[in-house]
Amino acid sequence: MDTSPDILVVGLGAMGAATLLFASGQGLRVLGIDRYEPPHHHGSTHGESRITRVGVGEGAEYVPLVQRSHRLWRDLETATCTSLYHACGGLILGCGDAAPMHGQHHFLDSTVAVAEAFGIRHEVLDADTIAARWPQFQLTGAERGYFEPEAGYLRPEACVAAQLAQARLRGAEIHNGECLLEWSKDSRGIAVRTDRTTYRPGLVVFCLGAWLPGVVPAPLLRVTRQVLHWFDTERPEDYAADRFPIFIWNWGLHEGQVYYGFPDLGGGIKLATEGHVETDPNHVDRSVGQGEIEAFYRLHVRGRMRGVLPNIRRTATCLYTEAPGARFWIDRLADDGPIVVSACSGHGFKHSAAIGEAVAQWAISGVRPSVLLPFAAPPGDTASR
């Protein structure tokens, strides 16, 4: 008997779990495989929390994805009785005119412009108002801010676990601990060889995160090591989610003079910046030295946040897969090839539910949903347009 599925999803992190969920329950044989046991801490989808915000300063083309995702997270919460999305509010802080982030030279201004264009509820605040509302921040007086009440954080591990559980309920098969070794295309279609068997799926979707460049030609994708820090605070209640928003703070005008953070969810306040050291997922240095922690605290935190102590509770390392301009790459390798989903660049999680839904629709219908059109292959890569 042929055990090959109609749709094979390889990689069940943020993008794969969502794709599997929306491909299942449609009368097709759907299989998802992952080399580990998701949710896990080897890829890009771990570390307790991810920022979500609707005024997406990275570009207007992302807004329909995050708006749809917010609906889908709420539906998933209802279906699974779990808590996934917390709208504690979000503050984007900038100083001066230009503060670069995620491919935008004026991240704060582009955030405000996107919010205005889409009628997203927000406030533009001066430094005095920010200081009065959130005395936790130590400002210079030159800052401006964008505050969005619908912004907040998602629980990435819980989102993936809930999506996979729901996908199973809808009839999807899931193989943990099964590793893709190679794939090929011939006159009979696509063959996917794993460490267990060879599949001849009707269609394959690669949601391989940082492992994607090892599987398809992707010369423009860079994999970088990221470090998350959880610090102690003098008064944890000052940083609780009912008093403190998620934030992104461009405290200087240059690349790298930015960090972001979350409320204290019970284990210290999580703070991080964006690292640029290239690595690969099988050899990344997972240890975080005391010197590295101290350098982060000295550069970004000291003198900027009241009552955040240099004592570290824990750290984690995670992987970005970055496309040029911090964009996503969601495309099909030729008309009859695999669909590839690379949606990270440090800001993909908030969109993952809607991306999975749209990719599943594409896999089932053969027609690329218009919401994905802006994310066709970056120039120089080999996918079709």
Ligand X SMILES: Cc1cc2nc3c(=O)[nH]c(=O)nc-3n(C[C@H](O)[C@H](O)[C@H](O)COP(=O)(O)OP(=O)(O)OC[C@H]3O[C@@H](n4cnc5c(N)ncnc54)[C@H](O)[C@@H]3O)c2cc1C
- Distance of closest approach, residue 306 Cβ to ligand X, in angstroms: 23
Nearer to ligand X, 106 or 347 (CB): 347
Could you count the other beta carbons within 10 Å of the beta carbon of residue 27? 9
- Distance of closest approach, residue 11 Cβ to ligand X, in angstroms: 3
Q: List the one residue from 16, 89, 152, 268 that touches ligand X (CB under 6 A).
A: 16
Residue 112 found at the interface with ligand X (CB under 6 A): no
Q: List the one residue from 7, 9, 32, 43 that touches ligand X (CB under 6 A).
A: 43
Residue 347 found at the interface with ligand X (CB under 6 A): yes
Could you count the other beta carbons within 10 Å of the beta carbon of residue 90? 25
Nearer to ligand X, 235 or 276 (CB): 276
Binding mask 300-339 for ligand X (x = CB under 6 A): ------------------xxx-------------------
Residue span binding ligand X (CB under 6 A) among the ranges 40-48, 87-95, 182-190, 282-290: 40-48
Cis geometry, peptide bond prior to residue 135 (ω within 30 degrees of 0): no
**198-199 and 189-194 as β-strands: parallel, antiparallel, unpaired?**
antiparallel
Residue span binding ligand X (CB under 6 A) among the ranges 36-44, 121-129, 134-142, 331-339: 36-44
Residue 209 found at the interface with ligand X (CB under 6 A): yes
**189-194 and 180-186 as β-strands: parallel, antiparallel, unpaired?**
antiparallel
Residue 224 found at the interface with ligand X (CB under 6 A): no
Angle at 297 between CA 44 and CA 52, to 5 degrees: 40
Question: CB under 8 Å to 9, separation ≥6 — which residues?
Answer: 16, 19, 20, 23, 30, 31, 32, 33, 204, 205, 207
Here the tokens at position 256 are 């790298």
Strand partners, 183: 192
Residue 204 found at the interface with ligand X (CB under 6 A): no
Residue 36 found at the interface with ligand X (CB under 6 A): yes
Nearer to ligand X, 122 or 225 (CB): 225
Residue 15 found at the interface with ligand X (CB under 6 A): yes
Task: Map residue 183 onto helix, strand or coil.
Answer: strand
Question: CB under 8 Å to 199, separation ≥6 — which residues?
Answer: 3, 4, 5, 8, 31, 191, 192
| # binding residues, ligand X (CB under 6 A) | 38
Pair 321, 348: CB distance under 8 Å: no
Nearer to ligand X, 134 or 183 (CB): 183
Q: List the one residue from 8, 24, 35, 322 that touches ligand X (CB under 6 A).
A: 35
- Distance of closest approach, residue 337 Cβ to ligand X, in angstroms: 17
Residue 10 found at the interface with ligand X (CB under 6 A): yes
- Find tokens 């959130």 and name the residue: 134
- Distance of closest approach, residue 117 Cβ to ligand X, in angstroms: 20
- Tell me the C-alpha to C-alpha distance, in Å, between residue 1 and each of 4, 9, 342, 382: 9, 21, 33, 35
Nearer to ligand X, 142 or 181 (CB): 181
Residue 12 found at the interface with ligand X (CB under 6 A): yes
Using CA atoms, how far apart are residues 364 and 368, in angstroms rounded to an integer? 10
Strand partners, 174: 32
Using CA atoms, how far apart are residues 2 and 19, in angstroms rounded to an integer? 23
Pair 166, 60: CB distance under 8 Å: no
- Distance of closest approach, residue 98 Cβ to ligand X, in angstroms: 22
**90-95 and 308-322 as β-strands: parallel, antiparallel, unpaired?**
unpaired
Binding mask 164-193 for ligand X (x = CB under 6 A): ---------------xx-------------
- Distance of closest approach, residue 260 Cβ to ligand X, in angstroms: 7
Q: Quick one: CA dihedral 333, 339, 342, 343, positive or negative?
A: positive
Nearer to ligand X, 167 or 210 (CB): 210
Q: What is the 3-state secondary structure (H, E, C) of 363-379?
A: HHHCCCCHHHHHHCCCC
Residue 343 found at the interface with ligand X (CB under 6 A): yes
Residue 11 found at the interface with ligand X (CB under 6 A): yes
- Distance of closest approach, residue 215 Cβ to ligand X, in angstroms: 7
Residues that bind ligand X (CB under 6 A): 10-16, 33-36, 38, 42-45, 47, 50-51, 179-180, 207-211, 226, 228, 318-320, 343-344, 346-350
